[in-house]
Amino acid sequence: MFRFVALLFLFSTMFAATTAPKGVYDFTLDSIDGKPVSLSSYKGKVLMLVNVASKCGYTPQYTALESTYEKYRDRGLVIVGIPANNFGGQEPGTNQEIKTFCTRNFKVSFPMMSKVSVKGDDTTPLYKFLTNKATNPKNAGEIKWNFTKFLVDRNGNVLSRFEPEVTPDSPQITAAIEQALGK
């Protein structure tokens, strides 16, 4: 009996180790329209994942996000907006209200996902991965506010993290995008 239990433990440990997420391509989110989107559908692209909000002091960054997307999308950049209502209730709307707000006010054409939680007990698995020291040692740490940006290489590895005050069209982000696209 002991051998059977030990063998069962060994197989379950091996299975867990092989199914643990290794990069952002291992996650699926719902689009703003409620359809599942596997981030693996962006393999070969450079991603910028951004937790966004409609009623935040950083909300005007949508303009720079859209212009950055338009500038680099033909070279392989995809910006993914991920609404979250974790900070001061600054994303209170439904997915449809968020979509309408982004389209009407900022002409957003980059992919938008359904609203999720990026911190706390109900953190979505993608953000658990992005903020965990074990899975993302270089860029881990709790999300502090809306418009935190993660730049991901063409293989699904997180390259860098930019805090909200760093705008999408800043020299730091532009240089990081250029370097990632050049690879």
Please give the biggest Cα pair distance in the chain: 65
- The single residue of 26, 56, 64, 166 carrying the catalytic annotation is 56
102 is a catalytic site residue:
no
The set of catalytic residues is: 56
